[in-house]
Amino acid sequence: MRCNFFLAIFLIALQLPAQKKYPQDTFRPPLEIPLVLAGTFGELRSNHFHSGMDIKTQQREGLPVFAIGDGTVTRIKVSHWGYGKALYIAHPNGYTSVYAHLKKFGPEIEEYVKKAQYEKQSYEVEMFPDYGELKVTQGGTIAYSGNTGSSAGPHLHFEIRNSVNGKPTNPLLYGYEVRDATDPTLLGLYGYPLSEGALINQSADKIQLNYTRQSDGSYLADKVTAIGTIGFGINSFDRLDMAANKNGVYAIKQTVNGRVYSEFDFDSFSFGETRYINTLIDYAHFYDHRQKIQKCFKEPYNHLNIYESLYNDGKIKVEEGVSYNTELLISDVAGNTTKLIIPIDGKKQEEKISKIDKTTENFVIADKPNNFDLGAAKVYFPASTFYEDFFINLEKGSDTITIHDNSVAAHRNFTISFDPSKYSAEDRKQMFIAHLDSKSRSSYSKTYKRDGSFTTRTRTLGTYTLVKDSIAPEIKPKNFKEKQWLSNYSYLSLAISDDLSGIDTYSATLNGKWILMEYEPKTNTITYDFEDNISNETECELKVTVTDNVGNSTTFVGNFFRK
Ligand SMILES: [Zn+2]
């Protein structure tokens, strides 16, 4: 019965344009305030496409969040990073709504979560309530908006996923009213010579191309001369009406002499493919300039399923004496479209700008495993760590090694193994593998210590070294003092920090009983809510223990009174 229902939806979906595939006007908005977006679906984020929309909450936390439809809670997750406090609600029409970075949950769900946290003695929990165990009705308050997890400011991250295959879909395709009459903004156009001997304006390397705005609002590129197989890439963003935020565009379509060469859009994608974003954008350009150019051609190692149509993978074979008219259409969900015309003349030409020679002593063959001995450490890249073969820059050292730089994207984890045998057993205890950024600031890379070797798995290239952390974490009360009366206080808060390896675990007791401390790494704060009612004694002893990633530990003991 259920299967047939979804099959029917699927068959309808095949015949209808994007918008009509999804239920219209079934779901209400998750907030009471007008929907103003700080982020759109498919937006280019670091190593992933944005899987929902970010709704601005007027720089505030604590706005009531409503269930967009009747349903049942299927998943609750509380974590320090990522979605922070997140709630998943399955609806009978086959979609699941997701609400993230929440400050707290609605009363019934909050109680359910607290119970689990006290049972597991952990702030971080993940639960999958039984179907129907936690029912919600459309418009019911299920949570309060916040800024938890990897969120840079108060907002609601909101998603609608297909409940069957788990794919996130574009929430703007469900009939939500978001004011947008503004065309996408074009920031830059780039030409890519792709085949051996291909040239664009006498360049064998990627080249930026000029364009001017026409009276009808479209853009016209200066005439391009080219030969061989070439492709184009653009840097663009979309601005909506009510906010200055630079959001992602919805679709890019490329036609050559009237024929569609490539077209992709952000109706939906799968989490399994999201990291292939690094093959859609010009990754090296992003490393150099912090700009995300989207390629209008598909690289051989690009496994994204976002393409509506492709001809010759979006690559244009330019022949001598032939003219080509390329049109790029960049649009948002509301249908506002920016048009760019690129006239191309096929012409043999002299090469004036050559490809930058990137030859080094070492070469990585992407589809084979690769091992390198760099003195202080060995590096192992499993097959398919990288998208393509390339010359890798490796620097050996007695303490520090450098593995290329992040102008190349790693798709999978690779392994770095340090030999710590020259250090004493005492030193080794407090040492860890650190990644050093361009300013030599170290960050902890999860270090596994086994007989005679320290190992880490990472997808970040660059410089690694061993660092010793001999300083234990710090714990300082934030809103109370020793022997203070705290009768009117609703919470206790303390600052916890660690200088080098970072905080691994923390725990607290009140008069010997475990209490829930909510940890907010962004503000280095742990907070206890007196409403949890763990102790009703007048004399209270608070004990907090924090341990860093190499095992240095600090215990704070404080006393206060409360009636
Ligand atoms: Zn978001």
The string of DSSP codes covering 230-280 is EEEEEEEEB--SS----BPPSEEEEEETTEEEEEEE-SB--GGGGGGHHHH
Secondary structure (3-state) at 123: coil
State how far the Cα of 111 lies from the Cα of 106, in Å rounded to an integer. 8
Diameter of the chain measured on Cα atoms: 91
Q: Give residue limits of the domains in the chain.
A: 37-173, 185-346, 362-468, 474-561
Per the structure block, which two tokens stand in for 69? 């439809």
State how far the Cα of 24 lies from the Cα of 158, in Å rounded to an integer. 17
151 Cα: distance to centroid of ligand 1 (angstroms): 8
What pLDDT is recorded for position 107? 96
List of long-range contacts for 422-425, beta carbons under 8 Å, 24+ apart: 423/466
55 Cα: distance to centroid of ligand 1 (angstroms): 8
Residue 79: CA count within 13 A, CB half-sphere: 12
pLDDT class of 392 with cuts at 50, 70, 90: very high
Percent of the chain with pLDDT over 70: 96
Q: Which residues of 325-335 are buried (b: 16+ CB within 10 A; e: fewer)?
A: ebbbbbbbbbe
Contact 352, 203 (CB under 8 A): yes
CATH of 474-561 given 3.90.79.10, 2.60.40.1220, 3.40.190.290, 1.20.120.160: 2.60.40.1220
State how far the Cα of 130 lies from the Cα of 205, in Å rounded to an integer. 57
171 Cα: distance to centroid of ligand 1 (angstroms): 12
Quickly tell me which residue has 């979906």 as its tokens.
Answer: 13
What confidence tens digit (pLDDT) does each residue in 228-244 have? 999 999 999 998 888 88
303 Cα: distance to centroid of ligand 1 (angstroms): 23
- The CATH number of 362-468 is 2.60.220.30
What pLDDT is recorded for position 63? 98
State how far the Cα of 275 lies from the Cα of 270, in Å rounded to an integer. 10
216 Cα: distance to centroid of ligand 1 (angstroms): 35
Q: What are the beta bridge partners of residue 449? A: 454
pLDDT class of 13 with cuts at 50, 70, 90: very low
157 Cα: distance to centroid of ligand 1 (angstroms): 4
| Rg value, the chain, Cα | 27
Average pLDDT value for residue range 408-415: 98
What pLDDT is recorded for position 12? 47
CA angle 245, 246, 247 (to 5 degrees): 105
Report phi then psi at 143, rounded to 5: -170, 180
52 Cα: distance to centroid of ligand 1 (angstroms): 6
Asked if residue 328 has pLDDT above 50, the reply is yes
pLDDT class of 1 with cuts at 50, 70, 90: very low
**Reduced 3-state DSSP string for 71-118:** EEEEEEEECCCCCCEEEEEECCCCEEEEEECCCEECHHHHHHHHHHHH
122 Cα: distance to centroid of ligand 1 (angstroms): 25
Q: Which residues touch 252 (CB under 8 Å, ≥6 apart)?
A: 234, 236, 262, 263, 264, 265, 294, 296, 328, 329, 330, 331
Average pLDDT value for residue range 112-123: 98
Tell me the fold of 37-173: Glucose Permease (Domain IIA) (2.70.70)
pTM of the model: 0.93
268 Cα: distance to centroid of ligand 1 (angstroms): 15
528 Cα: distance to centroid of ligand 1 (angstroms): 27
What pLDDT is recorded for position 18? 63
